Amino acid sequence: MARKTDTQPARSTASMPREADTRLRSILDAVPDAMIVIDERGLIEMFSHSAERMFGYAAAEVIGKNVKMLMPTPYREQHDGYLDRYRATRERHIIGIGRVVTGLRKDGGIFPMELSVGESIFEGRRVFTGFVRDLTEREQAERRIEQLQAELMHVARLSELGQMGAALAHELNQPLSAIVNYLQAGRRMLQTADTPPPPRVAETMEKAAAQAERAGQVIRRLREFVAKGETDRRPENVHTVVEEAAALALVGAKSAGITTRIALNAELPPVIMDKVQIQQVLLNLIRNALEAMAESQERILTLDAVAADGFLALSVADTGPGLPEEVVRNLFQPFVTTKSRGMGVGLSICRSIIEAHGGRISASARPGGGTIFAFTLPLDA
Task: Band the pLDDT of 225: cuts 50, 70, 90.
Answer: low
Residue 10 pLDDT level (bands cut at 50, 70, 90): very low
Please name the residues in contact with 273: beta carbons below 8 A apart, sequence gap of 6 or more: 233, 234, 236, 241, 357, 377, 381
Of the ranges 44-58, 85-99, 218-232, which one carries the lowest mean pLDDT score? 218-232
- Residue 167: per-residue pLDDT: 57
* pLDDT value, residue 211: 73
Nearest-angstrom CA–CA distance, 291 and 294: 5
Closest CA to 312 of 246, 238, 232: 238
Separation CA 313–CA 377 (nearest Å):
7
Q: Pick the more confident residue, 230 or 188.
A: 188
Cα dihedral 192, 196, 198, 200, rounded to 10, equals 80
Q: Is the pLDDT of residue 150 over 80?
A: no
Report d(CA 235, CA 250) in Å as an integer.
25
Q: How far apart are CA 118 and CA 120, in angstroms?
A: 7
Whether the Cβ atoms of residue 336 and residue 329 lie closer than 8 Å to each other: no
DSSP state of 66: B
Mean pLDDT of 255-267: 81
| DSSP β-ladder status, 259-264 and 300-308 | parallel
Per DSSP, 71 falls in state: S
Q: Are 71 and 103 in contact (CB under 8 A)?
A: yes
* Residues whose CB falls within 8 Å of the CB of residue 289, separated by 6 or more in sequence, listed in order: 301, 316, 317, 318, 320, 371, 373
Render the burial of 337-370: b for 16+ CB within 10 Å, e for the rest. Answer: beeeeebbbbbbbbbbbbeebebebebeebeeeb
Which pLDDT tens digit goes with each residue over 300-346? 999 999 998 899 999 999 999 988 777 767 677 655 555 545 445 57
User: Is the pLDDT reported for residue 156 higher than 80?
Assistant: no
Answer left, alpha or beta for residue 333, where phi above 0 means left and psi between -120 and 50 means alpha.
beta
- Range 228-257 average pLDDT: 76
Are residues 50 and 59 in contact, defined by beta-carbon separation less than 8 angstroms? Answer: no
> What average pLDDT score do residues 210-228 get?
61
Query: pLDDT band at residue 5, thresholds of 50, 70 and 90?
Result: very low
- Which one, of 308, 249, 242, lies nearest residue 278 by Cα? 242
At position 67, the amino acid (one-letter code) is V
Q: How confident is the model at residue 89 (pLDDT cuts 50, 70, 90)?
A: confident
State the chain's mean pLDDT as an integer.
77
CB 229 within 8 A of CB 120: no
Quick one: pLDDT at residue 304?
92
Helix (H, G, I), strand (E, B) or coil at 321: coil
Considering only residues 245 and 236, tell me which one the structure prediction assigns the higher pLDDT.
Answer: 236
What integer is the mean pLDDT of 135-160? 61
Q: Report the percentage of the chain scoring pLDDT > 90.
A: 24
> Which tops the pLDDT comparison, 347 or 270?
270
Cα separation values, 371 from 226, 246, 263, 287, 348, Å:
29, 18, 17, 13, 17
* Mean pLDDT within 25-40: 79
Residue 219 phi, psi (nearest 5): -65, -40
Report angle CA 334, 274, 357 to the nearest 5 degrees: 55
Predicted confidence at residue 37, as pLDDT, reads: 92
87: part of which helix (H) or strand (E)?
Answer: helix 75-89
Ordered by where they begin, the domains of the chain are 33-137 (3.30.450.20), 140-227 (1.10.287), 233-378 (3.30.565.10)
Burial letters 245-262, b for 16+ CB under 10 A, else e: bbbbbbbbbbeeebbbeb
Q: Contact 354/360 with Cβ under 8 angstroms? A: yes
Q: Does pLDDT of 268 surpass 70?
A: yes
Q: What percent of the chain has pLDDT over 70?
A: 67
